[in-house]
Structure 1
Amino acid sequence: MSGLPTGWTEVELGEVWHESRARARPDAIARTDYIGLEHVEGGTNRITGAGRSDGVKSAVAVFSAGDILYGRLRPYLNKVIRPPFAGVASTEFLVFKESKALVNGLLMRLLSSSDLVAYANANSAGVNLPRISAKRLAEYRFGLAPVPEQHRIVTKIESLFARLDEGVAALKRAEANLVRYRASVLKAAVEGRLTEEWRRENPPAETGEDLLRRILAERRKRWESEQLAKFEAKDRKPPKNWRAKYKEPVAPDTSGLPKPPERWCWATVDQLAPVIQYGHTASADPSKQDGPRFLRITDIQDGRVQWSGVPGCVVSEAETEKYRLSAGNIVFARTGATTGKSYLIENHPEAIFASYLIRVGLSYLVHPRYVSAFFQSGSYWSQVERGKRGIGQPNVNARVLANITLPLPPVREQVEIADRVASAEDVVWQASNRFMGNCLTAASALRQSILKRAFEGRLVPQDPADEPASVLLERIRAERAAERKRRKPRPTQRKRQPKSRVP
């Protein structure tokens, strides 16, 4: 390491830190705060919560207020904090106390710097659970500033980071406002307020009730055609009263619902969707490039699918035909943390869907983008929450989905609503994912740039009056050597036995 500022010296981290290896059994200490890796936000030095020690079974690391906790498991997550309180922590944390040569405020920033994170990643052991050992971390070399300058650096970093945090907080507030704006647009859409003026200026030739009757008639006609085809294939005549076997879809229970907007009506998903189907059970195979893509819950992120990353699977031609997705289908997550989330199939390659998804195939008389917009609304989510089953692993089934009730406008108004919602969604997406995403990325990069300047000696000016770090380091080394010498046990002298005389 060359070009260090005046008064700085190159050291190994282990020479100047003060590692604490205090451990305890949870049942042997008083009930106190517990910090696990899950309580730390990566890359921000923030504590997001805390548990209690009496809920922990294994040994814990003990820390005091102001100590540094460094997450050594998966160091790329960059989990480093300085709790303002005492407590215990997971042993996946290394604990450091204040040392004479390196102040803890600067140690926390050093451990969070991109250079050290890269070093820790490169020197971790383990494939599935990579960790860096204290021994390897101690070998990291960096430039050590004089202690008075360290304090000035910490003060400057805190000042700059506080301003950055204010900007990030403002972005987060704006992002929350965008979420509320989107929700209000969807609410207005499904309540008829978004197109209220348009509706007065464009009276439809067909009402929502007329449309629903046409959908149900078309559905029954299709069922009858399918039944007749089956009879013909078996060379049989239709039995008497065979039409009576037709099962009408579930009608909406409107007893607790408000009156729909003029020319609208209430309908159920079951009435609008001839197909409500569970997906195919198979194992994903990323190496299988030919054949249909195998869409899973995890492939749907932020309302989008990166089809290039969707794997294939082993599937027969008959199964492909049965589970093939079509444009206008809507798939739903039926279990797990994303239960109820939906995705409209558009502009997709040949694909089938996995068993933890439910496919809704709508009538061709309904606009799929309008129905998809309803499936993002608060009205839909309140019904899903009422229909969820399970606590640890919540889920919804096809019956719950079939009973979801939604407002049905005339077709032309469905198209108008879908277009207006799409425009609002585009505004939200552009602002949130592009502008705000870029700003947050820039803020993170600026944070690392500040740290880089700090550890290169370019953040604050040097003071010739500061004691050089090398002088302090030599004094600390001498003190440690003297301490080791003082503690070194003196060898016990064995009493000399008198020589025996041989008579």
Structure 2
Amino acid sequence: MGKTILSKELIDQGVAVYSAGFSDEPWGYIPSSDVLFGEETLVVSARGNIGIPKLPRVHPFVCTQTTIAISLHDAKLRKYVFYFLKSLDYSPFTSQTTIPMIRVSDVNEIAVPLFDEVRRERVVAELEKQFSRLDEAVANLQRVKANLKRYKASVLKAAVEGRLVETEASLAHREGRTFENGEQLLQRILKERRETWKGKGRYKEPVAQTDDFTIAVPDGWTSATVDQLGSVQLGKMLDKQKHTAGAPYQYLRNINVRWGAFDVSDVFEMNFEPDELERFSVRAGDVLVCEGGEPARAAVWRSKQMDMKYQKALHRVRFDGAYLPDLLVIALEHLAKSGALDELYGGSTIKHFTLETFIKLVLPVPPAAEQARIVAEVDRHLSIIREVEAEVDANLQRAQALRQATLAKAFVV
């Protein structure tokens, strides 16, 4: 095993340090070491992603306690042994611990098929030729994925800026008709919310936008805070010791909310009392927004069958029908992934999208008909992106399978 080296010990130059993981570059440098390895030594990850071999590019070097150094008698064997180690299935060597781990004794017991020198050179040359082609194909696929990411970002940006579909103002002008613009729609929403409110005491006006939070909008649109457009409610605090009364119900956690979708394959239960059932309910059309983890990650709940609740790590936004919930998700994904929300998150190290901040967030308000066209057009683009991404991922998996099959075939005795 390597030596214990802490990240705070690393400097910009000196003796190279190699650690576990996929990168072939040094983790960092330390001033000196009493143990040094040269070009005849390989490094294998011993913890976490076990069995990943490396050919250190910088010599001399030292490796950390998360790796095992394999020093060969002949430096010419480095590449041959490197590729053989990549061909192995390390699951039988994994120690029965929480963190996957292999031991020096396990590595010492690995039997390397030592062909004659000519065959060894031929094996290495053929593998490098095949992998060069595979690497090029994989690089092309990764470029496609990067382009898809940029394409999606441009679609979301165009959607919230009024450039994805023709605006209602432009259509109405061309057709010689009037229309309900964004400001009129907002006033209708505020009026209807005020008139239909059934809470206790006097109606509290929602938080309006201030000069500190403004956005530019196209002709016919306006802007408003989340609080003006819908009602926002944090979920129930999770405390299994206190929450023993009531009946058990499934509830959504942060991890269940993905961008634009829900993963309910791993849903927990906790007790909810009768007076909490409506307060923490999730209806079709509600938007669930992550408060922490990846703040602002959001999706529209569409199920009308599942009786679902939600916990305090999530905001629930409920609209009254005049503002499409999908538009909030589109806006949040654009703002979050473009970095526009970063300065709003609370917490110095762990980001939080607090309720106080979230309700003040300013959103674009297009006319109702235009909202529907925007959501439909975004969905059309994202469907194309998902299709292509699925094909790219399938090809990447095939490339990895081909790589492993090529390695296995190369070392058949």
Same fold (TM over 0.5): yes
Matches of 2:211 and 2:327 in 1, distance apart?
A: 21
Specify whether residues 386 and 24 from structure 1 end up closer, same or farther in structure 2 by C-alpha distance, changes over 3 A only.
closer
Matches of 1:246 and 1:294 in 2, distance apart?
A: 30
Which amino acid counterpart does residue 19 of structure 2 have in structure 1? Answer: G
Specify whether residues 71 and 303 from structure 1 end up closer, same or farther in structure 2 by C-alpha distance, changes over 3 A only.
farther
- The alpha-carbon deviation at position 414 of structure 1 amounts to 0.6
- The alpha-carbon deviation at position 350 of structure 1 amounts to 2.2
Which amino acid counterpart does residue 221 of structure 1 have in structure 2? Answer: E
Matches of 1:266 and 1:25 in 2, distance apart?
A: 53
Q: Name the SS for the 2:234 alignment partner.
A: strand
Which amino acid counterpart does residue 85 of structure 1 have in structure 2? Answer: V
Matches of 1:22 and 1:208 in 2, distance apart?
A: 64
Identity between Structure 1 and Structure 2 (%): 26
Contact 2:168 2:369 in 1 (8 A): no
- The alpha-carbon deviation at position 187 of structure 1 amounts to 1.1
Which residue does the alignment assign to 2:110?
140
What do residues 161-212 of structure 1 show as CA deviations (whole Å, max 9, x unaligned)?
A: 1111111111111111111111111111111111226653356631111111
Which residue does the alignment assign to 2:288?
331
Contact 1:22 1:61 in 2 (8 A): no
What do residues 225-262 of structure 1 show as CA deviations (whole Å, max 9, x unaligned)?
A: 434xxxxxxxxxxxxxx7xx432212223577465222
Give TM-score, length-normalised by structure 2: 0.86
- The alpha-carbon deviation at position 366 of structure 1 amounts to 1.3
What do residues 300-329 of structure 1 show as CA deviations (whole Å, max 9, x unaligned)?
A: 345432313323334444434321211222
Alignment match of 1:33 (pick from 13, 16, 30)? 16
Specify whether residues 410 and 107 from structure 1 end up closer, same or farther in structure 2 by C-alpha distance, changes over 3 A only.
same
Specify whether residues 380 and 171 from structure 1 end up closer, same or farther in structure 2 by C-alpha distance, changes over 3 A only.
closer
Which residue does the alignment assign to 1:201?
171
Which amino acid counterpart does residue 189 of structure 1 have in structure 2? Answer: A
Q: Name the SS for the 1:63 alignment partner.
A: coil
Q: Which runs of 4+ in 1 moved over 6 A?
A: 24-27
Alignment match of 1:441 (pick from 397, 402, 407)? 397
Q: Name the SS for the 1:377 alignment partner.
A: helix
Matches of 2:178 and 2:100 in 1, distance apart?
A: 63
Which residue does the alignment assign to 1:486?
none
Which residue does the alignment assign to 1:391?
348
Specify whether residues 35 and 279 from structure 1 end up closer, same or farther in structure 2 by C-alpha distance, changes over 3 A only.
farther
Which residue does the alignment assign to 1:413?
370
Matches of 1:452 and 1:326 in 2, distance apart?
A: 52
Gaps of 5+ in 2: 242-246
Which residue does the alignment assign to 2:24?
47
Specify whether residues 324 and 448 from structure 1 end up closer, same or farther in structure 2 by C-alpha distance, changes over 3 A only.
same
Which residue does the alignment assign to 2:134?
164
Q: Name the SS for the 2:113 alignment partner.
A: strand
Which amino acid counterpart does residue 55 of structure 2 have in structure 1? Answer: R
Matches of 1:440 and 1:302 in 2, distance apart?
A: 23
Contact 2:2 2:62 in 1 (8 A): no
Whether 1:424 aligns to 2:381 is yes
What do residues 327-346 of structure 1 show as CA deviations (whole Å, max 9, x unaligned)?
A: 2222222223x122222212
Specify whether residues 301 and 261 from structure 1 end up closer, same or farther in structure 2 by C-alpha distance, changes over 3 A only.
closer
Contact 1:275 1:362 in 2 (8 A): no
Q: Name the SS for the 1:431 alignment partner.
A: helix
Alignment match of 1:191 (pick from 148, 153, 161)? 161
Specify whether residues 80 and 101 from structure 1 end up closer, same or farther in structure 2 by C-alpha distance, changes over 3 A only.
closer
Specify whether residues 137 and 258 from structure 1 end up closer, same or farther in structure 2 by C-alpha distance, changes over 3 A only.
closer
Structure-to-structure mapping, 1:157-306, within 5 angstroms: 157-196=127-166, 200-202=170-172, 205-223=179-197, 225-227=198-200, 245-253=202-210, 257=214, 259-282=216-239, 291-301=248-258, 303-306=260-263
- The alpha-carbon deviation at position 279 of structure 1 amounts to 3.9
Specify whether residues 291 and 425 from structure 1 end up closer, same or farther in structure 2 by C-alpha distance, changes over 3 A only.
farther
Contact 1:282 1:354 in 2 (8 A): no
Specify whether residues 49 and 169 from structure 1 end up closer, same or farther in structure 2 by C-alpha distance, changes over 3 A only.
farther
- The alpha-carbon deviation at position 277 of structure 1 amounts to 2.1
Which amino acid counterpart does residue 57 of structure 2 have in structure 1? Answer: P
What do residues 53-79 of structure 1 show as CA deviations (whole Å, max 9, x unaligned)?
A: 37x9xx99743346211112245x542
RMSD: 3.1
Specify whether residues 61 and 427 from structure 1 end up closer, same or farther in structure 2 by C-alpha distance, changes over 3 A only.
farther
- The alpha-carbon deviation at position 125 of structure 1 amounts to 2.0
Matches of 1:302 and 1:106 in 2, distance apart?
A: 44
Which amino acid counterpart does residue 36 of structure 1 have in structure 2? Answer: S
Alignment match of 1:126 (pick from 96, 115, 119)? 96
Matches of 2:277 and 2:30 in 1, distance apart?
A: 52
Which amino acid counterpart does residue 194 of structure 1 have in structure 2? Answer: L
Contact 1:31 1:52 in 2 (8 A): yes
Contact 1:33 1:52 in 2 (8 A): yes
What do residues 477-503 of structure 1 show as CA deviations (whole Å, max 9, x unaligned)?
A: xxxxxxxxxxxxxxxxxxxxxxxxxxx
- The alpha-carbon deviation at position 108 of structure 1 amounts to 1.5
Contact 1:103 1:147 in 2 (8 A): no
What do residues 419-467 of structure 1 show as CA deviations (whole Å, max 9, x unaligned)?
A: 00011111111111x101101000100100110111116xxxxxxxxxx
Which amino acid counterpart does residue 27 of structure 2 have in structure 1? Answer: A
Matches of 2:337 and 2:227 in 1, distance apart?
A: 14
Structure index of larger Rg: 1
Whether 1:89 aligns to 2:46 is no
Matches of 2:113 and 2:72 in 1, distance apart?
A: 18
Matches of 1:95 and 1:52 in 2, distance apart?
A: 17
Which residue does the alignment assign to 1:80?
53
Give TM-score, length-normalised by structure 1: 0.71
Which amino acid counterpart does residue 201 of structure 1 have in structure 2? Answer: L
Alignment match of 2:302 (pick from 335, 341, 346)? 346
Matches of 2:339 and 2:178 in 1, distance apart?
A: 30
Specify whether residues 106 and 140 from structure 1 end up closer, same or farther in structure 2 by C-alpha distance, changes over 3 A only.
same
Contact 2:345 2:352 in 1 (8 A): yes
Specify whether residues 380 and 125 from structure 1 end up closer, same or farther in structure 2 by C-alpha distance, changes over 3 A only.
closer
Specify whether residues 66 and 343 from structure 1 end up closer, same or farther in structure 2 by C-alpha distance, changes over 3 A only.
farther
